[in-house]
Amino acid sequence: MEEWITEELLEKAAQVAEKGICDRCLGRMFGKISTGMTNDVRGAKIRDALRENGREGNVQSPCPLCDDVFDLMGRFADAVAESINSVESDNFLVGSRVDPSSLKKEKEIIEEFELKDCESIKTELNREIGKLALPMIHRPVEFKAPQVVACIDTRFAEVSLDISPVFIYGRYNKLSREIPQTVWPCRVCHGKGCPRCNGTGKMYQTSVQEEIGNIALEMSGGKEHFFHGMGREDIDALCLGEGRPFVLELSEPRIRDIDLDELEARANRSELAQYHYLRFVPREEVQRVKMATPTKTYRVKVKAESKVNKEAVINSASSFKNICLDQRTPQRVEHRRADLVRNRTILWVKADNIGDDTFELTLETESGTYVKEFVSGDEGRTQPNFSDTLGIQCKVEELDVIAINDQ
């Protein structure tokens, strides 16, 4: 008798064997005892020891616990391999859905006999199907972060794939004052399609996200794209210079290693936005981009209600150096933002191109600063503000983001 088969184990095994279960299920009830063998071999050894003691138990067919599901592992492995080979990945993992009645019976046996060293039927199926499928897939198994998980429903031999997303980092320039950064669902129908949106479900026909995302989706055979930007600019603002960092997420891509040079070239045929520095990144990059709070540099064209004095404009601009603002939620966004007073810092402001009642300001601000309201004052909701300092009411006519200072 094997050394690991103790009298205590035999006593438990004799009681379990009375359930009429197969060798594999018997071995699995003690699956964490000893190593270097499969559960069916372990179960056979235990039953041999029981037989020597006249207590082998009456094996029923089909097995009342697993219903002989392990006889179908070859079929399951073929289905798993076929599904995984239909997509591109560097690795894979096998999962399973098991008949709930088998899981219930297993739980009852474990609890009835207080078994502490058992292995679940799901774990064994996953491992054994994976071992059979591996030679047909030619990719390594990955347990921590698999790119594709093939889940086999053992009741129907049907496979569903859980494909991990692809993440692409880049920077974009927004060249139109008529498109948003991301897909904007119609306010009336909330994406369902209505007369207001001509059935598109969108407030705007395209966006920075869609100009690259739709192409990437086509190239990857993915299901959906998501856009994660390092902040965003207003629809009527441009984003120039080196551009704004973003991560494009592609869900369920059937092709992972798409040609990023081709993606960039095709996306840059757009006259609305341009994209640069594309590269694949891990999931963690999404959080880094979304949580970053770099300062931003803007250039704004300003219109004053009356003629301005050049020296006064220059002096007003230079007075804003490391100045903290109290900015109550602007009137233009109060319908979708909490009514709060936010503290934001203006690092510096420079004025040039000063005309009779127009001028330009270049300024660097803390992330989250409402630049239009800093200039206008927003009827006193931003204090201090440029209009009050100059003594003439002003408003921003055009706003450009010229730098995201994240380097």
Read off φ and ψ for residue 162, nearest 5 degrees.
-110, 105
CB 230 within 8 A of CB 292: yes
Which position has the token pair 């520095």?
277
CB 72 within 8 A of CB 63: no
Burial class (CB in 10 A: 0-12, 13-18, 19+), 198: exposed
* Residue 72, token pair as written in the block: 């179908």
Contacts of 354 (CB under 8 A, 6+ apart): 308, 310, 313, 314, 360
Task: Give the three-class secondary structure for 135.
Answer: helix
Query: How many CB atoms neighbour CB 370 within 10 A?
Result: 22
Which position has the token pair 């390594």?
140
Considering 40, 67, 234, 378, which one is annotated as catalytic?
A: 234
CB 143 within 8 A of CB 91: no
How many C-alpha atoms does 331 have within 13 Å on its Cβ side? Answer: 9
48 noted as active-site residue: no
Rounded Cα distance, 154 and 158, in Å: 7
Q: Determine the straight-line distance between the first and last CA of the chain, rounded to whole angstroms.
A: 69
Rounded Cα distance, 172 and 181, in Å: 10
How far, in whole angstroms, is CA 286 from its chain's centroid? 7
Read off φ and ψ for residue 240, nearest 5 degrees.
-115, -155
Read off φ and ψ for residue 108, nearest 5 degrees.
-65, -40
Any idea which residues carry the catalytic annotation? 234
